Structure 1
Amino acid sequence: MGGAIVWLVNAVISLMVWAIIGTAILSWLFAFDVINHRNRFVNQLSQFLDAVTRPLLEPFRRIIPNLGGIDISPIVVLLLLEFARRLFNGMAAPSLIALLG
């Protein structure tokens, strides 16, 4: 049971990392006019990724100033997610596995 919880936490963090990377790439594609919002699939994908990543990115966007049109909040959130993953795997995961098996 403990191993399953550890796997689930790591999977959720990995999915959030990929969602943030996808949001960043999609925003670059929009900015350089490679794709547009008029495409129905692209628009739905953009709305989904925005809804998933906004709760994590928005607090940092309010704190970190915009550096000449470059948003570095995804980089900060990615670093914090990796820190949380390493902290969880180093401290909480062994205890969960020992406690729950």
Structure 2
Amino acid sequence: MNALASLIDTVFTIYIIILIASVIASWLITFNILNTRNQFIYTVLGFLYRLTEPVFRQIRRVIPPIGGFDLSPMILIILLYFLRDLIIDNIR
């Protein structure tokens, strides 16, 4: 069972890293640090968008951005940590 718990932990950790990368990329675009016309940047951003935006959209339906500040990444990360701990504790 430890191998399964380790695998689940790794999957959750990778997705959380992808979420953080998506948030950082959106900040870099907002401050004109990243050039979205660059093909490599555009491809990476598209990849991050396809992995994160469907989940963010579901959270934004319930909790819309407040004062231009989007809380969905923070809420999702907290939920993922809670869910990961819940699943792993039940496996062990």
Q: What's 1:97 paired with?
A: none
How much does 1:39 deviate? 0.9
TM-score scaled to structure 2, two decimals?
0.92
Q: Higher relative contact order at CA 8 Å, sep ≥6: structure 1 or structure 2? A: 1
Contact 2:8–2:88 (Cα < 8 Å) also in 1: no
Distance, in Å, in 2 between the alignment partners of 1:62 and 1:45 is 26
Distance, in Å, in 1 between the alignment partners of 2:91 and 2:17 is 22
Unaligned runs of 5+ in 1: 95-101
Distance, in Å, in 2 between the alignment partners of 1:45 and 1:73 is 21
- Secondary structure (helix, strand or coil) at the match of 2:32 reads coil
Distance, in Å, in 1 between the alignment partners of 2:48 and 2:24 is 11
Distance, in Å, in 1 between the alignment partners of 2:79 and 2:54 is 14
Q: Which runs of 4+ in 1 moved over 6 A?
A: none
How much does 1:54 deviate? 2.0
Identity of aligned residues (%): 34
Q: What's 1:60 paired with?
A: 59
How much does 1:31 deviate? 0.4
Unaligned runs of 5+ in 2: none
Aligned positions of 1:10-29 closer than 5 A: 10-29=9-28
TM-score scaled to structure 1, two decimals?
0.85
Q: What's 1:47 paired with?
A: 46
Greater radius of gyration (CA)? 1
CA displacement 1:47-72 (0-9 Å, x = unmatched): 00111112321100111121121111
CA displacement 1:9-60 (0-9 Å, x = unmatched): 1111001100100000000000011112101111111000111112321100
Distance, in Å, in 1 between the alignment partners of 2:41 and 2:59 is 25
Q: What's 1:73 paired with?
A: 72
